[in-house]
Structure 1
Amino acid sequence: MQHIIISDPTLRDGSHAIKHQLNRKQIATYAALAESAQIPILEVGHGNGLGASSLQLGESLISDTDMLEACRENLQQTKLGVHVIPGFATISRDLRSAIDLGVDVVRVASHCTEADITKRHIEYARSREKEVYGVLMMSHMASAARLVEEAQKLESYGAMGVVLMDSAGAYLPHDVQEKVSALTGSLGVPVGFHAHNNLGLAIANSITALENGATILDGTIRGFGAGAGNAQLEVLVTVLHKMNYDTGIDYYKLLDIADIAEKDFVKIPYINSSNIVSGVAGVFSGFAKPVERIAKEYNVDPKDVFFELGKRKVVAGQEDLIIEVAEALAKHKINM
C-alpha cells in the first residue's frame, strides 16, 4: 500500500477566507484536533505566509509568533509547517524566529518562474536541519519544460521535495497530468500538488497528480481557503482510502474534526461566478474578495476586472493593480 503525505494548510490558506482573522483559541483547538487525527503536517500563518501581515495583503488578527506558539503547544506527532515567500518573509526576522519556536517543515515558495529567489531561504532552513520543500506558485502560468527548469533549481538548492500550486484553480486534469509527470520524470525528490476548486476540479486534479507520480497532496478541512477553496481534506482522504492508499490519518476523527471546525470557525467556500471567472482568467484565488469589493466601489463588473488582471498576468503581491484596473474600466465605461 503506497503512502501519501497529506499536508493541511487549513490554518494558513484557510485564513484568506476570513481576512486572516483566526484567533489564538481557534488555532490551538484545531491544532489539538489535527494531532488527535494524526494529520501528518499542519501549516499555520497568514494566508500569504510568514511576515505577510500588512495593510496591502491584510493584517492578521494575531502575530506569527502567537499563531506558531498556539500550534506548537498542541502538537507532538503532527509536524508544524510554515509557508515562506522571500520578500514577505526575511531570514533574520521571520524564518529564524519561526524555527526557534519549533517549526518542523518549511515550504519556501516563489512565483513559478522565479525559483532563484528561494535559494538563501532553502539553504538556511536546511542548515537548521528542517524538512524543506520548494513551492512553485501560479504554476499554470509556465510550460511543463519551464517548470522542470525551475523545479531543478529548487532541488539544487536543497529542497527535499517540490510542490506545484494551482493557485488560481485554473488547471484541467490534462494540465495536471502533463506538468506533474514532467516533474516526477525529471527530479530526484518527491513531487506534491496543491489544488484550488475554482472550476470544481480540486479532488479530480489531486488524484490526477497522484496517478502521475505525486506523493504529497494538500487539503483543507471543508475546503476552507481562498476563492472557491482548496481540495476538501476529508473528501480527499476518503477518496485516497477508497483507492487503497495509506495516509496514516484517523478517518473517523477527521470526519469529526470537519464537523467541529465548521461550527467553530470555517466559512465553507462555494463556487460563485467570480471564482469561476478567476479560474478561467488564471488569477490568484486570494484576489476574489478584494476584486469584488473594489469592483463595487468603482461600479464595474468584477468579471471584467478578473479578465483584465489575467491579461496582465498579475500575481499575488500585486493587489494594488486591482484598483488600477478598476479605475481604467470605470473611465472606459464613462467614455463609451
Structure 2
Amino acid sequence: MFRKELKVLDCTIRDGGLINNYRFSMDFVKAVWRATCDAGVDIVELGKKLAESDEYTREKYGRWNFCDDDDLREVLDSHPCDKPPMVAVMYDVGRVDVRGMRPRDQSPVDMVRTACYVHQIDAGLDLVKRSKDLGYLTTMNIMAASASIESELIEGLQEIEQTPELDYLYLVDTFGAFYSEQVTYYLKLYQQHAPSKPLGFHAHNNQQLAFSNTQQAIIDGVNLLDATINGIGRGAGNCNLELLLNFLKNPKFDVRPVYKVIQEEFVPLRREIEWGFNDIYGISGFLNQHPRDAMKIRANPELKDRCYDFYLKSLRLDQGD
C-alpha cells in the first residue's frame, strides 16, 4: 500500500532492549543504525532516556536505557548518510529528569516519545510540554488501552486534544490482544475525542497479528507506524520491519539492508535471547494479560513449553479465581 504521508519508526533497540536489559553492544547498535539509514527508515528510536540514580545505573540497566548524547553521537557518526533518519528516545513517566535534557539544537535527539498508562496521562502531558519547550517533536504512547476503563480513556483523550504541544498520539497494543476490529474501534475512539492529533500505532505479536493489525491501522488512517527488525521485542515481539517495508511499496524504502543485518546480526543473536510467537505468548495475548508472567514461564526451562498448564492458570486469574 502506497501513501506518501506514511512514515516508519524503527524501535528495534528500544523495544528489543526489554529482552536483554538494553545490553546491546555498540557494534550491534551501529549495525542497526546503518541498516535503517540505508533502508530509508524515517525515524529510529535508539533507546530510553531514564534518569540515572543509585538504583538505576548504566552498569545494571544497560547504556541504551539512558541514551547518553555521546553514545548516540558515536552511533550516528559511525555511518553518515545523505538523508539520515530522525533520532527518537522514549521517556517513561516517573523515571525521567527533564532538567538533564538539552535543547534539541544541542542534542542528537529529534523526537521524544512519552510512554504512560491512562492514569498517568496528566504526568505524561507535562513531559510532552517540557519536551516541546526544548524544541523536540513529541509523541504520547498510551499503554494498555485494551485494559483501561473506557470512560477514563476518553477523559484522557479529551485532555490530550487540548494539548497543542503533542505532535503524535499513539495507540499501543501492549498485550498483543487486538484483532483488527479492536484496532478500528480504538482508532475511531481516538479520532473522535482527539480529532486534531495525527495517530501512530505500535503492535505486539502475541497472536501473530502485529503485521496485519498494522495494515489495519493504515487502512484506518494511521500515518506513523512502529516496527522492529526481525520483529524483535519483548515477549512475542513486534511488527517486522522487513514485512512492513515490503508492504508499503514506497520507492524511498530499500529492504535489502534490513535483510542483510538480519542475516549478519539477528540470526546469531537468536542463539542468545528469545523473541517471537509461541503458544505461551499467544495465551497471554488472547486473555489480554500483561506478558510478564508468560516471559517468566519462557525463562524457566522446566515450564517454558507447558502451554496447557499456563492456559489453565491464566484462565483462573482472568476469571478472578
Q: Give your verdict on TM over 0.5.
A: yes
For residues 290 and 99 of structure 1, what CA distance do their matches in structure 2 show?
A: 42
Partner of 1:334: none
For residues 98 and 307 of structure 1, what CA distance do their matches in structure 2 show?
A: 47
For residues 62 and 263 of structure 2, what CA distance do their matches in structure 1 show?
A: 24
For residues 141 and 134 of structure 2, what CA distance do their matches in structure 1 show?
A: 19
- Alpha-carbon contact 2:230-2:240 (below 8 Å) kept: yes
Alpha carbons of 1:182 and 1:127: their partners in 2 closer, same or farther (altered >3 Å)? same
- Determine whether 1:114 maps to 2:120: yes
- Determine whether 1:68 maps to 2:72: yes
Partner of 1:36: 38
Offset at residue 13 of structure 1 (A): 0.2
Offset at residue 116 of structure 1 (A): 0.9
The equivalent position to 2:204 in structure 1, one of 193, 196, 200, is 196
The equivalent position to 1:171 in structure 2, one of 171, 178, 185, is 178
Partner of 1:273: 279
Q: Which moved more, 1:127-136 or 1:29-38?
A: 29-38
- Determine whether 1:229 maps to 2:237: yes
Alpha carbons of 1:145 and 1:215: their partners in 2 closer, same or farther (altered >3 Å)? farther
Q: Which amino acid aligns with 1:272?
A: N
Partner SS for 1:279: helix
The equivalent position to 1:220 in structure 2, one of 224, 228, 234, is 228
- Alpha-carbon contact 2:40-2:254 (below 8 Å) kept: yes
For residues 52 and 81 of structure 1, what CA distance do their matches in structure 2 show?
A: 19
Offset at residue 28 of structure 1 (A): 1.8
- Alpha-carbon contact 2:104-2:134 (below 8 Å) kept: no
Offset at residue 39 of structure 1 (A): 1.0
- Alpha-carbon contact 2:184-2:217 (below 8 Å) kept: yes
Partner SS for 2:160: helix
TM-score, normalising length: structure 1: 0.78
The equivalent position to 1:151 in structure 2, one of 134, 140, 157, is 157
- Alpha-carbon contact 1:137-1:167 (below 8 Å) kept: yes
Partner SS for 1:11: helix
- Determine whether 1:85 maps to 2:85: no
Partner of 2:259: 255
For residues 113 and 205 of structure 1, what CA distance do their matches in structure 2 show?
A: 25
- Alpha-carbon contact 1:176-1:205 (below 8 Å) kept: yes
Partner SS for 1:140: helix
For residues 291 and 105 of structure 2, what CA distance do their matches in structure 1 show?
A: 28
For residues 82 and 150 of structure 1, what CA distance do their matches in structure 2 show?
A: 23
- Alpha-carbon contact 2:145-2:173 (below 8 Å) kept: yes
The equivalent position to 1:290 in structure 2, one of 296, 299, 307, is 296
Q: Which amino acid aligns with 2:63?
A: I
Partner SS for 1:164: strand
Q: Which amino acid aligns with 1:50?
A: L
Query: Share of identical aligned residues, percent?
Result: 22
Alpha carbons of 1:234 and 1:182: their partners in 2 closer, same or farther (altered >3 Å)? same
Q: Which amino acid aligns with 1:224?
A: I
- Alpha-carbon contact 1:292-1:302 (below 8 Å) kept: no
Alpha carbons of 1:226 and 1:51: their partners in 2 closer, same or farther (altered >3 Å)? farther
TM-score, normalising length: structure 2: 0.81
Partner SS for 2:162: helix
Alpha carbons of 1:114 and 1:248: their partners in 2 closer, same or farther (altered >3 Å)? farther
Partner of 1:18: 20
Partner of 1:323: none
Partner of 2:141: 135
